Amino acid sequence: MSLEAGVLLSVTEEPIYWHVPNNRSSSALPDSRELWNKIWENKDKVLGFAHSHPLGIICPSQEDITTFSAIEIAIGKRLLWPILTKEVITYWQWNGPAKFNYHQIYISFSNKKWIYMLYNVSYSYRFLFAGLPPL
Amino acid sequence: MENLVAVNTAFVNVTYNGYNGNLEGNINYDASSDEIKNWVKEALRTGTIPGIPAQTEVDLTDFTIDKFAADGNLPARIFCRPKATFG
């Protein structure tokens, strides 16, 4: 069983908070006041929020994009929004000009540990023992 | 003098554009989310929320209203915050 999960990342590429709510599913992370509080509490050091798409879609959904925008409006700064599927990780960022104009950017993290950990909390436990896939 | 109509009131906390503050005065706890958003929007535009400077553009479209009833020593409170839903 694969389930969506997320992780709040710091500008130093370290996980700040793991978001694995009990009510998550393979296609959604329901609205979470707790997640919002963590973002707000860490607004000065947050780089972005990564989440997984177990169904394999590499692009942000409309739900994702409207959330990206609302959170950025609330904290007053732009964030990075990585999306992890079983096969690939993509990175998304607003580059305008319209409110919902989020585009893929190409970057590489020096610390990839959080990617593997997000993979493990999102996808079947067997991957813990079968080795991690290339990212 | 006794109030003829008892109104359940709450304070409203708002986070916007990197600032956080409480709406001046309490509002009716039973107000709808749309009503609360309209009051918050007006207060943000006019700069009447202590701690939040006046905002020229206000967009609360994808914000949500959280309500918490009075509980023990805590008064009723309402939070206007962005949704945090991912698909």
Give φ, ψ of A30 to 5 degrees.
Answer: -60, 160
In order, the DSSP letters of B13-59 are: EEEETTEEEE-SS-EETT--HHHHHHHHHHHHHHT-STTS---SS--
Counting the structural domains of chain A, the total is: 1
Q: What is the pLDDT of residues A89-113, one digit of tens each?
A: 999 999 999 999 999 999 988 888 9
Q: What is the pLDDT of residues A45-75, one digit of tens each?
A: 999 999 999 999 999 999 999 999 999 999 9
- At CA A105, angle to CA B85 and CA A47, rounded to 5? 55
Partner residue facing B85 (CB), from A31, A73, A76: A31
Domain hosting B38: range is: 9-82
Q: B84 and A62: CB-CB below 8 Å? A: no
Partner residue facing A74 (CB), from B66, B81, B85: B81
Q: Residue A51: list chain B partners with CB under 8 A.
A: 86
pTM: 0.91
For residue A53, the domain's CATH number is: 3.40.140
Residue B33 covered by a domain: yes
Residue B37 covered by a domain: yes
As for the ipTM of the complex, it is 0.91
Q: B86 and A51: CB-CB below 8 Å? A: yes
